[in-house]
Amino acid sequence: NYVQQPLSSNTVAINPFNIVNFVGKLKTYPSSDTWFSQGKRPDITTNLEGQNDNWTLSPDGGRTGFGSEYDDWGTNWTGKQVTESPQKSVEKVGKTAKANRSTAEMGGSKSRVGIGANTAPEAVMKTVGNKIIDTTVVPYVRNQTVTFAATGLQPQTNVYVFFSETDVSANVRPASKLSLIATNGTFQVGETVKDGANNWGTVIIASNTSSTNTATIYISNITGNISSTDSAQYGSANALPEGQREIFPTSANIGDTTHVFTVANTISGITSEATANISVVEHFELGTTNGVMKTDATGQCAGELFIDDGIWRSGDKLLRITDSALNNVEATVTVAETKYPVKGLLQTREQLLISTREAQNLRELPNDEAIVTDTVARSTEKTNWINPLCQTFHVDPSSFPKGLFLRNVTLYFSAKDLYLPVTLQIRPIVNGFPSASKIVPFSEVILNPDAVQVSTTANSATSNTTTTTVFTFESPVYLTPDEYAIVVSTNSTTYALHIAEEGINSSGTTSKISKPTFVGSFYKPQNAGLWEAHPDKYLMFNAQRADFTIGAGGNTNFVKFVSAANSAVGNTANVLADKIKIGTSTVEFSDTNIQWKYAASNGTFALADGNEGSAEYVVFSPDQNYELIDQKRIVYSTNGTFRIRAEMTSANSHVSPVIDIDRMNVISVENLVDDGGLSNSDISITT
């Protein structure tokens, strides 16, 4: 436990003004894309001196410029390091260095007649951290499938999907919805599930009701076979590699309720080991009728977006789900949106917010795109805004000089709604007040009423799960030493929380309430005037941090990444590599370390699970071009022929290295010498 405020003396409504803003949360899988389309010629923003002719003049039937310039993958995509990496901490650490320099005097004279240019060819350069990217060459977004899940929308509402301001509803297939009975265990978001016929899918929304042994899950990424049954399973074994399974990108068969995850089939979770029987199935075809999706009774929807190759330029693309068929913001009643980055390098540091993901700014109102950054200086003609209920807390620099990782926050509710969800976020403090828009990465959690426990009499016992409601973050949230706010919001007037007031007797006792350590001020919700802090009132809550094991890495503490069959972009054959570059997004500290190693197949050795023990793992540095001693081979149709092992160590129980799995990627480079698409007629010699 990091911060505990276990006492209560009163309750407070989360939304006493009945202000309703259906601005939901939208999450994508993956969270971003790390590569680009190689099937379309990139845009060239400047080429005044012909320095980018290799991109503009190369034949359309060839590489269209890709691979014609050494390390273009670094120069134009992942960035080139130009300065030393910043200190891996938030502490002020001084550095000293010594160096000897000498010069030699040379004599002689030279003369030259002509015009000299002292400037480099014009280019559009962008600095991200300690790297520079040449954005003169702008590639396009590649062909891919993006799974999405939206929560917190208006219930029972038709919604439309827009990608980069373009209506893509015709390229969306809503996720299959399974109603389950006789459930045993809890299904988890992100886990793989399979039915008795050996069809597989991925859970993207899960709602479990333990009291009735029922559950509702939304699944996508479905693979299998429409002819398989419980008695005639698909494949020779349940562990048939995903890359060898049938998929349903546009097939109408998946829309037939008699095929794939059918009624009465058994279903089980691979990770949670939960089991259930399927009672109701809702499958949908690609581009559901009139391009319309519909939210459920709690305001949720999910699906798969099939992005065509070479349509949109790479960069930050806005994915939006809205009830406006014309994407008219002023006429919007409900919306959920997120930034989907398609780029080789992310800006993961913003002031004291440090993460493997970029921080996002949330707008307050569905019918206004304005981002409010300062709650004190808010200027708007809208009246339906609200400063939500908040409780601030401190990460003390003397106790946690490197910061900490927050795992969850427990709240104590006295009342809840029947249908509408409640949202918890961690926000930074801006100008002395909780931020109106910025959310710390990974810190937003939305719970449906079935996951909220209520009690008229607060009970802070950790073992009492009938009165505690735990908001668990999808990933531990890193917080630097600073002040932050726990923000709680909802569109329902019913939700209420237990709070305490200093100097008042705690409920049911004669003990006076005093201020706990690390607890700041309480902010009541308000929508007029100044957002007033109440330093003598505190939300009843408990926040838990992660406590990491201090010790060696190696065989006792490592994570392994294994290549999947069919995972090489734009390739249908084995991949040969003379050079590799491993892309990552990490957070490290001065007293933590990650040692990276790789193992791969070559011309004589085929790496697999059975012979991994005899494979040689070689140390390398990520985000750098690594020259291979011998040519490596990534087999197209086999899992695990290229493997990465990251051995993590920490000398501080408060912090740990962080690796973002969504950003892990391998760029393989094969050295080829050819004519570059030129013929003899393209060359003339003059004397």
Q: Residue ranges of the domains in the chain?
A: 3-20+380-545, 22-36+142-175+286-363, 41-82+123-139, 176-283, 554-669
Looking at domain 22-36+142-175+286-363, its CATH superfamily turns out to be: Immunoglobulins (2.60.40.10)
For the domain with range 554-669, which CATH number is right: 2.20.70, 2.60.120, 3.30.420, 2.50.20? 2.60.120
Find tokens 């957070």 and name the residue: 587
Find tokens 């949330």 and name the residue: 362
Q: Give residue 420's pLDDT.
A: 92
Q: Give residue 51's pLDDT.
A: 86
Rounded Cα gap, residues 659 and 583, in angstroms: 11
Q: How does pLDDT run across 77-93, given as a tens digit for each residue? A: 999 888 665 544 445 44
Contact 519, 3 (CB under 8 A): yes
> Closest by alpha carbon to 421, among 395, 397, 445?
445
Rounded Cα gap, residues 405 and 545, in angstroms: 6
- Establish whether domains 3-20+380-545 and 554-669 are of one fold: yes
Rounded Cα gap, residues 633 and 600, in angstroms: 7
Q: Is the peptide bond before 30 cis (omega within 30 degrees of 0)?
A: yes
Rounded Cα gap, residues 119 and 126, in angstroms: 18
Q: Are strands 413-415 and 334-342 parallel, antiparallel or unpaired?
A: unpaired
Flag residues of the chain having pLDDT under 50. Answer: 87-90, 92-97, 236-238, 240-245, 252
Half-sphere exposure of 577 (CA within 13 A, CB side): 24
* Residue 83 CB neighbours (<10 A): 10
Q: What is the DSSP string of 262-319?
A: -TT-EEEETTT--EEEEEEEE---SS-GGG-EE--TTS-EEEEEEEPTTSSBSEEEEE
The whole-angstrom distance between residue 211's C-alpha and the CA centroid of its chain comes to 32
Q: Give residue 236's pLDDT.
A: 47
Q: What is the DSSP string of 366-426?
A: TT--PPP--STT---S-----BPEEEEEE--TTT-TT-EEEEEEEE-EEE--SS--EEEEE
353 three-state secondary structure: strand
Q: Give residue 377's pLDDT.
A: 62
Q: Give residue 557's pLDDT.
A: 74
Rounded Cα gap, residues 109 and 415, in angstroms: 89
408 is written with which tokens? 């969850």
Query: Model-level pTM greater than 0.85?
Result: yes
Rounded Cα gap, residues 65 and 52, in angstroms: 9
74 three-state secondary structure: helix
Q: What is the DSSP string of 160-187?
A: EEEETTEE-GGGEEEPEEEEEEEEES--
Q: Give residue 286's pLDDT.
A: 74
Q: What is the DSSP string of 14-60?
A: S-TT----EEEEEEEESSSB----SSSPPEES--TTSTTHHHHSS-T
**519: buried, middle or exposed (CB in 10 Å: 19+, 13-18, 0-12)?**
buried
Q: Give residue 283's pLDDT.
A: 82
Find tokens 């048939």 and name the residue: 240
Q: Give residue 238's pLDDT.
A: 44
Which class in CATH covers the domain with range 3-20+380-545?
mainly beta
> CA of 142: how far to CAs of 34, 83, 90, 314, 445, in Å?
10, 31, 37, 9, 30
Rounded Cα gap, residues 577 and 602, in angstroms: 9
